Amino acid sequence: MVLVWDNLNLHLVPGMKTFAAEHTDWLTIVQLPAYAPDLNPTEGIWSLLKRGALANLAAADLHQLVRVINRALKKIQCRHHLIDGCLPPTGLTMRTGGDITN
């Protein structure tokens, strides 16, 4: 599993570093500078969601918002070219087996 560590407050809590150190056998951390949306492939996915399913959505409630996001993410998941398009700006590449390298 790869954790893109982008200095989100949750990533900076004391227990997170301990957790990461204890699970190096299955956890790979890619650390980003304090503000670097262009280096984070997750930002590309959010951009796709905001331009698509969320562009003009006025959700009636949280349940509807979650349902719309889940549906949009499933559509993106089936279109590998969209996901692949989020990687080049980051400098990351996919290796055989789904591992991400930089």
Q: What is the pLDDT of residues 25-37, one digit of tens each?
A: 999 888 777 667 7
For residue 47, what are the CA distances in angstroms to 55, 73, 78, 85, 96?
Answer: 10, 12, 17, 12, 26
The DSSP element (H or E) to which 30 belongs, if any, is: strand 28-31
Domain carrying residue 1: 1-33
Q: Are residues 56 and 8 in the same domain?
A: no
Q: Render pLDDT for 52-94 as a digit per residue (tens, 0 to 9).
A: 888 888 989 999 999 999 999 998 888 877 777 776 666 666 6
CA angle 18, 21, 22 (to 5 degrees): 85
CA distance 82 to 101: 19
Question: Does a structural domain hold residue 102?
Answer: no
Q: Are residues 42 and 86 in the same domain?
A: yes
Work out how many domains the chain is built from and give that number: 2
Q: Are residues 1 and 16 in the same domain?
A: yes
Number of Cβ within 10 Å of residue 68's Cβ equals: 16
